[in-house]
Amino acid sequence: MSSVGLKTFFNIASAWKLTNDQEVILLGSPSRSNFYNWKRNPSAANLNRDTLERISYILGTYKALQILLPDPKAADEWISKPNAEAIFGGESALARMLSGNVSDLFVVRQYLDSMRGGCRR
């Protein structure tokens, strides 16, 4: 599961135009050597539960955006655009997710799921 999850995460990170620093934060701030090893050879990664949970929230967020915004470009750009919703405080969903807390990844995912008409995990 680690390999597939990481490959998918890095594909999403590319679509969202994330920097390596942003990717590191979203993955839970692994050491730089681990991060670059994962990026170079995801099939050799042995991820802990926290990192897998983070990847799960990112994948769910990506999927929800693709459903809500069928134009892939608009879906990928939404994550970085300022948002007036109270939970984002005028910042982007990505800014909220980059706080470093796994709970913020959950909040963004939950928000998008609610926009789809129900809470799913």
Confidence at residue 120, expressed as pLDDT on a 0 to 100 scale:
45
Eight-state DSSP code of residue 30 = -
**94 vs 77: CA distance, rounded Å:** 10
**79 vs 15: CA distance, rounded Å:** 11
pLDDT tens for each residue of 37-89: 999 999 989 999 999 999 999 999 999 999 999 899 999 999 999 999 999 99
The answer to whether 29 and 22 are in contact (CB under 8 A) is no
